[in-house]
Structure 1
Amino acid sequence: MSTSPETPAVFVTSATGSVGSALCRQLRDLGWGVRATTQNLDSPSAKALQEVGVELTLGDWDNEEALRAGLTGCDKLFVCLLPDLQDFNKVPNRAKNIAAIAKAAGVRQVVGLTTLGAFAVEEGSEPPSAHAPGPFFVQHLHAKKRVEQALIDGGFDHWTILRPGFFMANFLEPKIHMGYTEIRENGTWTNSMTASSPLGLVDHVDIARFAVATFQNPDTFHGRRLGVVSEEPLVQEALDTLAAAIGDGRSLKANFLSDEECAKAQAEGGWRFFSSEPCVRYMADYTNLEELNKLLPGGLTTFKEFLEREKEGVKETYGV
């Protein structure tokens, strides 16, 4: 695999996930080299990546030998690590290890993907009390911040952190099972937003496009912690758009939790943050749609456009 400036090589973590897969395909469309590890070379997602020319190494993120093999010859790195809500130290330690191996292998640029919520725990910028995350969520966000810091401290020539909002794909299979099946089963979505707070929706393909733009323009994006969303409708507007895309005449209704109901849900703990965290009401405070549209060639994807592109997923999810 060539590592010349004309044909960069990128190592992509979570390559079989929604963002990783989209990123791999976009990079291969540019003719760039792409490498990744996988725990199953024969899975449908792994085979699909191999078909477009992604070089896969058998192993996981804790397999240092596999990581060294995959990272050798790469000059760029994309880090997207799934959280471990049972052990908040595991993923930051994993990120630190990956960064060290990548640096030793000659990687010069890193792009990390975390979460928009990391702005709420930014050092030196304490949010208003209404923005403050609950005790369980704050541990998750601080773990994300430690992942970011591991990449920033990794000694790379260029680093960028992308912090995405609420995935549009959460409304579709398979992500709908991460706490959102109420929409399909009951026609409602009970959440901790309000009727007037914008919902920062993001298309995973747009996230990949931002990563590509960052890899192509390292100086422009160096040192940025960029909040990434594609559109900011009100929650009910988003549900109305989804109902129209389903197209069978059903209506979908947003149910908003009171502060007291959020506090009760927070006390129970768990990872369904949109069901208990009032801080997500303030996502729009950490994003700039005008700037994002300027940074991304071709502009951002609306929820309506996303649902049209993913119409087969809409059919699969909602039985139409």
Structure 2
Amino acid sequence: MGKTVVVVGATGKQGGAVAAHLLADGWHVRALTRDALSPAASALTGAGAEVVVADMDDPASLERAFDGADGVFSVQPAPHDPGAPVGYSTGAEVRWGRNVADAAAVSGVAHLVYASLVEAAEHTGVPSFDSKWEVEQHIRSLGLPATVLRPVTFMDGLVVSKDVLDGSFTHVLDPDTRYQLIGVDDIGAFAALVFGAPEQYVGRSLTIAGDERTPRELAAVLGRALGHPVAYHQIPMSLIRRHDPGLASVFEAPVAPKADVAGLRAAHPGLMTFEAWLSRHGRAQLAAL
């Protein structure tokens, strides 16, 4: 296409998925990283991206990185993200998100795509949700041509414990509570879709999901993939409140609006169900466990 999109957080999961889909669609990708010598940065270079060093705490470095770019994809780590810097907090997340938006405004970027989350559609009182809500409000205050992506729970975050190999899948939800899920790779696909059709998506917020399941159903799907029964075990909320009140507040927040999965699949026919995600991505995560 001859157009450039800067991907913030390109060495992370969401940014990496966005960079991969944009490269596949023919965009010039300028991948931002704090360490150009990291294995993830080297992999991006090998894939055809232009790797640029910048820091979200350094607005001047962002402005240099955004110079001449047509679009910017903005994502910040969540405070509980294992890859987040030491001492990182919701305050830092807001500051970083605001800095990216400010730099995009100064640089005259034609399209900012911000990765938020489904619960950030309104102020909730939950710090890890409201940090993204604050960034969204700042983007609006700047009048930037922007699109907000609001993904639901990541499929990629469900298969992280060796317990599942021993036949136990745990969560805090009631076993028959239906909730929506999305594969991180599909977040990259939607970002590329949005950048490719700004006339349809600028000024919009898009809640994205690929499947809707209960914990009991997820356990059954995992059991079929592993070839042995997997039982669902619910963690009592009282235990979560006692040991991690912040996490408890996440699950006790008001129910977020649901995505129109059928409509999303019409726009992106490759949108993955949980079974499809397991076959394409989840098996590698299970093998790594």
Q: Above 0.5 in TM-score?
A: yes
Check whether the contact 1:16–1:45 (CA below 8 A) recurs between aligned residues: yes
Preserved CA contact (<8 Å) 2:240 2:247: no
CA displacement 1:227-271 (0-9 Å, x = unmatched)? 211101111111211222223x2x2222235xxx42552354356
Distance 1:47 1:271 in 2: 36
What secondary structure, in the 3-state scheme, does the structure 1 residue paired with 2:185 have? helix
Q: How far 1:12 moved relative to its partner?
A: 0.8
What SS class does the counterpart of residue 190 from structure 1 fall into? strand
Inter-CA distance 278–255: structure 2 relative to 1 (3 Å threshold)? farther
Counterpart of 1:301 in structure 2 is 272
Aligned length: 281
The match for 1:93 among 95, 101, 112 is: 95
Instruction: Give the conservation status (yes or no) of the 8 Å contact 1:92–1:150.
Output: no
CA distance in 2, matches of 1:88, 1:22: 23
- 8 Å contact from structure 1 (residues 41, 47) kept in 2: yes
**Aligned ranges for residues 244-263 of structure 1 at < 5 Å?**
244-247=224-227, 249=228, 251-257=229-235, 261-263=236-238
Partner of 2:286: 314
More displaced 10-residue stretch of structure 1: 81-90 or 305-314? 81-90
In structure 2, what is the equivalent of residue 277 of structure 1?
A: 251
Aligned counterparts of 2:69 and 2:138: Cα–Cα separation in 1? 19
Give per-residue Cα distances to partners, 1:96-130, cap 9 Å, x unaligned.
121111111120111111112223xx15xxxxxxx
Query: Which residue in the other structure is 2:30 paired with?
Result: 35
Point out where structure 2 has 5 or more consecutive residues left out of the alignment: 81-87
Q: Which amino acid aligns with 1:199?
A: Y
Q: Which amino acid aligns with 1:255?
A: H
CA-to-partner distance for each residue in 1:15-42, whole Å, 9 max, x for gaps? 0112211211111122211112212222
Pair 271,219 (structure 1): closer, same or farther in 2 beyond 3 Å: farther
In the other structure, the counterpart of 2:220 is 240
1:138-177 matches, cutoff 5 A? 138-156=126-144, 158-172=145-159, 176=160
**1:11 alignment counterpart:** 6
User: Partners of 1:39 and 1:270 in 2: how far apart?
Assistant: 32
| Kept in 1: contact 2:71–2:109 (CA 8 A) | yes
One-letter amino acid of the counterpart of residue 308, structure 1? S
Q: Provide the C-alpha distance between the structure 2 equivalents of 1:313 and 1:268, rounded to a whole number of angstroms.
A: 27
Deviation string, structure 1 residues 191-232 (Cα, Å, up to 9, x no partner): 232222213110111111111111111122222222211101
Question: In the TM superposition, what is the alpha-carbon distance from 1:272 to its structure 2 partner?
Answer: 4.4
CA distance in 2, matches of 1:10, 1:18: 17
Distance between the aligned counterparts of 1:99 and 1:65, measured in 2?
13
- Taking a change above 3 Å as real, the CA distance of residues 291 and 182 of structure 1, as seen in their structure-2 partners, is same
Match of 1:292 in 2: 264
Deviation readout 1:76-108 (Å, 9 max, x if unpaired): 111110133663322212211211111111201
Match of 2:240 among 265, 278, 288: 265
Q: Any stretches of 5+ residues in structure 1 without a counterpart?
A: 1-5, 124-132
Q: Write out per-residue CA displacement over residues 263-320 of structure 1, whole angstroms, 9 at most, x where no aligned residue.
A: 552354356469x71448x45x422112212232x24111111111123332222xxx
Q: 2: distance between equivalents of 1:36 and 1:155?
A: 25
For residues 120 and 101 of structure 2, the distance between their equivalents in structure 1, rounded to whole angstroms, comes to: 20
State the distance in 1 between where 2:73 and 2:133 align: 16
Aligned to 1:50: 45
